[in-house]
Amino acid sequence: MNKQELIDQIRTKGSFLCVGLDVDLEKIPAHLLKLDDPIFEFNKAIIDATHDLVVAYKPNTAFYEAYGLKGWTSLAKTIDYLNKKHPEIFTIADAKRGDIGNTSTRYAKAFFEDMNFDSVTVAPYMGSDSVEPFLAFKDKFTIMLALTSNKGGLDFQVLKDKEGTTIYEKVLKKSLEWQNSDQLMYVVGATRPEFFQKIRNIVPNHFLLVPGVGAQGGDLRSVCKYGLNDEIGLLINSSRQIIYASDKVDFASKAREKALELRMEMADIIDKAKS
């Protein structure tokens, strides 16, 4: 998928919502556990119930790896289902990978070619040659951690150099020098709305993937106030709040209700941004 197709989808749906498919067998409705592949069945039901309200799905690979080969099979089936049934939807492998040169290329192939995700999240610590191999794939996006929403995000990301520039700003600035940097997006936590203005000064045009709205306490409108750009430029992720809205047989319709609430708020924000 290219950037314009993502923007078009956002405009058409009036939504920049991403749903995190972080499936935990201890949290999904009990009746699914009797099925052959409960994880896939859960994802399929969530996708069927919400696909017209969301523009992206983001399975976090940790939840699949934790179930070994079975988990990887469920992940492969989920992405396959999305690509076949809803090719217009932007898919994110939330894998936070990163390694040296050719090794990063292997990760890129695993997610971009083998599974055909539109994007993958990566960690910046190893620098240019750990990220550029991902950027070499045409019409694929590399979503780099910049400022994360967790407590430990403050351990290193906001350290300052002698000119007062923080590490996450350095990461943003440096990454713009990398080859195919227009295929970058950045992870910025919703729990840090006060930083969005600074971030938009450095990367006015790139998409930001924003986790932490809802369960982690981030506020949608505060994020949009500074994060929104002319092309929207935001993908707001919500996981638990939507997918675990109910643990009963009505889980999919409850997930739809929650997604609809967020999508309504987003449509309103998009609308107001126009005027």
The residues of the shown chain that bind a second copy, judged by CB under 8 A, are 22, 60, 62-63, 65-69, 72-73, 76, 96-101, 103-104, 106-107, 109-110, 114-115, 123-131, 145, 148-157, 159-162, 164, 167, 170-171, 174
As measured in angstroms, the least distance from the Cβ of 159 to a second copy is 6
- The CB-of-150 to a second copy minimum distance in angstroms stands at 4
Cα 263 from Cα 51, distance rounded (Å): 11
Cβ distance to a second copy smaller for residue 10 or 38: 38
- Known catalytic residue: 248? no
Query: Given 96, 109, 170, 174, which residue is catalytic?
Result: 96
Alpha-carbon distance values, 182 to 114, 208, 262 (Å): 23, 13, 28
φ, ψ for residue 8 (rounded to 5)?
-60, -40
Question: Which pairs with CB-CB distance under 8 Å and at least 24 residues apart come from 137-140?
Answer: 137/108, 137/112, 137/113, 137/183, 139/1, 139/2, 140/108, 140/112, 140/183
C-beta of 138 vs 152, nearer to a second copy: 152
Minimum CB distance to a second copy, residue 85 (Å): 21
CA distance 184 to 176: 8
Between residues 75 and 252, which has the closer beta carbon with respect to a second copy? Answer: 75
Catalytic residue positions, numbered:
96
